[in-house]
Structure 1
């Protein structure tokens, strides 16, 4: 069996280490490189030591050497869970070398997503970009869209809860959910989105407002609830993540899919990866 050679950007982050562990335990993949920010205290440490596996021969390197390293080493797929700025810089280098990218970094601006899309098309090198790679979350999106399409006159509120150290609010998953619902209820997302409430302002008409509320507490991995409220009834749809293993597994499912579509020059979503668009 030919193994897929994978390099990870954001290699010593929580997701980077989980994905490294998954790769080491999966004979379909080979971890060939791992990179982190110049400020990382783990630079020059073997990834195996960081995940409790002992030496595996892959050293965490400074992301400043990514371009030169990619020039010298064969890589089939890049998986990126770093930061918005680092993602644009490093994944652009990968795409310019014809290396497809699985991108799970959240908080990337629409403008930079467009930059990646243009580069992907120009280089005929595909990407998967997803705010959440859990299978259940993407089914959750699909069901929420279905409900929204039949309740267009109802009010919509989204509540997301994460651990105290999560930086971005609302979560990328909540924003993706809101965008998908906005499309189904014929709303313009940027004008409809309301982030928290304060004061005595009345709620706007149903499809003119989608409320977002964020909780940051303890070590909660991730929970998302969307509330559809109509006259005399409501629907509440919730997804809870019990651990982070599914995120790592989802990124490798995306990598396998991407390898089969590597030269199409398309930005794929997890809907494409999981076949949800066909349902």
Structure 2
């Protein structure tokens, strides 16, 4: 039985809580909200619209105290960047593993998080988009950038109007995958060169699309989330993956997608030889 603590009970956090409550192999032992949230003190069931769970939502200003009390194996954080950075320091120092689904970090923030795992010897997985489908999409895009390195790439993404970061962390990660593929194939590409168009409108959950255009044809690779439950299912994979792990990981590690890319590199090199 894996004991899990959840930080953040926004739209995605609620879906994760619902799924975790139904698992027989995972026990949701505690849930935290921000210090200013009106959810503090309420039963989780009231927030996720189920029967009472016996889990009272607590404030992160007492995070260390309560982690000692509940002793989770994994902390899942879907809050805000500044809060997650603070939470990660506490969690890492306590040598508890962590799934971070929060977006909006810059490169320096991510380096700080990665350094925490090296200093404190815990495991952290950073997943700006935790859905399995979009991570498969990233592999497809990277493969395409290697094989069609003379084509033009353009990313577009759309999310609900309340999403703060723009472009999304997922779009930035897709751009990075494209850049790495192009550089590997010998094309000179600088960071930030791949254009990204971002739209914030209505209640759209998430859609990412990559347009790949050559002189005579066009390829489109896209992914769209219809339900936030897909984020919760991805979280389950990440939680299970982190058991007894030390180090900094991404969703590609969970799905062993790096091996797919590595095999392609070897195959491409063999073709050249």
Fold shared per TM-score above 0.5: yes
Matching residue of 2:129 = 132
Matching residue of 1:270 = 251
Aligned partner of residue 259 in structure 1, secondary structure: coil
Say yes or no: does 1:242 pair with 2:244.
Answer: no
- Normalising by the residue count of structure 1, what TM-score does the alignment of the two structures yield? 0.89
Output the CA distance in 2 between the equivalents of 1:61 and 1:127. Answer: 23
Q: How does 1:77-88 map to 2 (within 5 A)?
A: 77-88=74-85
Matching residue of 2:268 = none
Output the CA distance in 2 between the equivalents of 1:38 and 1:63. Answer: 6
Matching residue of 1:49 = 46
Cα deviation 1:62-115 (Å, max 9, x = unaligned) = 111102212333110000000111111011101100100000001112112111
Matching residue of 2:266 = none
Aligned partner of residue 207 in structure 2, secondary structure: strand
Structure 1: state its 5+ residue gaps: 193-209
Hey, which bits of structure 1, 4+ residues long, moved more than 2 A? none
Which residue, out of 4, 7, 11, partners 1:6?
4
Structure 2: state its 5+ residue gaps: 184-188, 261-273
Aligned partner of residue 185 in structure 1, secondary structure: helix
Say yes or no: does 1:121 pair with 2:118.
Answer: yes
Cα deviation 1:124-167 (Å, max 9, x = unaligned) = 11111011111110100000000011122221110101112111
Which residue, out of 188, 191, 198, partners 1:189?
191
Output the CA distance in 2 between the equivalents of 1:77 and 1:52. Answer: 24
Cα deviation 1:43-71 (Å, max 9, x = unaligned) = 11011111111211111111111022123
- Normalising by the residue count of structure 2, what TM-score does the alignment of the two structures yield? 0.91
Matching residue of 1:148 = 145
Q: How does 1:146-225 map to 2 (within 5 A)?
A: 146-186=143-183, 187-190=189-192, 192=193, 210-225=194-209
Output the CA distance in 2 between the equivalents of 1:28 and 1:185. Answer: 42
Deviation of the 1:213 alpha carbon: 0.5
Alignment size in residue pairs: 255
Q: How does 1:9-28 map to 2 (within 5 A)?
A: 9-10=7-8, 12-28=9-25
Output the CA distance in 2 between the equivalents of 1:26 and 1:278. Answer: 30
Which residue, out of 232, 235, 242, partners 2:216?
232
Deviation of the 1:19 alpha carbon: 0.8
Deviation of the 1:234 alpha carbon: 1.2
Output the CA distance in 1 between the equivalents of 2:64 and 2:46. Answer: 25
CA RMSD of aligned residues (A): 1.1
